[in-house]
Amino acid sequence: WKSLPNELENLSSLTRLDLKFYLSLTSLLNELAKLSSLTIFNLFGCLSLISFPNEFAYLSSLIILNLFGCLSLTSLLNEFANLSSLTILILSGFSSL
């Protein structure tokens, strides 16, 4: 899979999403914004991830975001500033950011 299944949006009580080493993931769904309880999002080693949807900024409960090794990621959203609960952001390993 190059993207996540649409059914993921139905997991509104999900608090942790670990996609570590999901090597073929290139994009995230806009529906991720419906994961309102998400506090930990681990994208460690998602080598093909290129960008985030604008709706990502609505993850207001997000505390930890791990983007270590997301080598294809070329930019971060200005909307990341709206992630008011975010306390840990791991950005190591970028080649083009």
pLDDT per residue as tens digits for the range 18-46: 999 999 998 888 888 889 999 999 999 99
Residue 96 lies in a domain: no
Q: Is the pTM of this model over 0.85?
A: yes
Domain count, the chain: 1
Residue 8 lies in a domain: no
Is residue 2's pLDDT more than 80? no
Output the domain CATH number for residue 64.
3.80.10.10
**CA distance to 21, 62, 65, 76, per residue, from 57 (Å):** 23, 10, 12, 11
Domain hosting residue 52, numbered range: 13-90
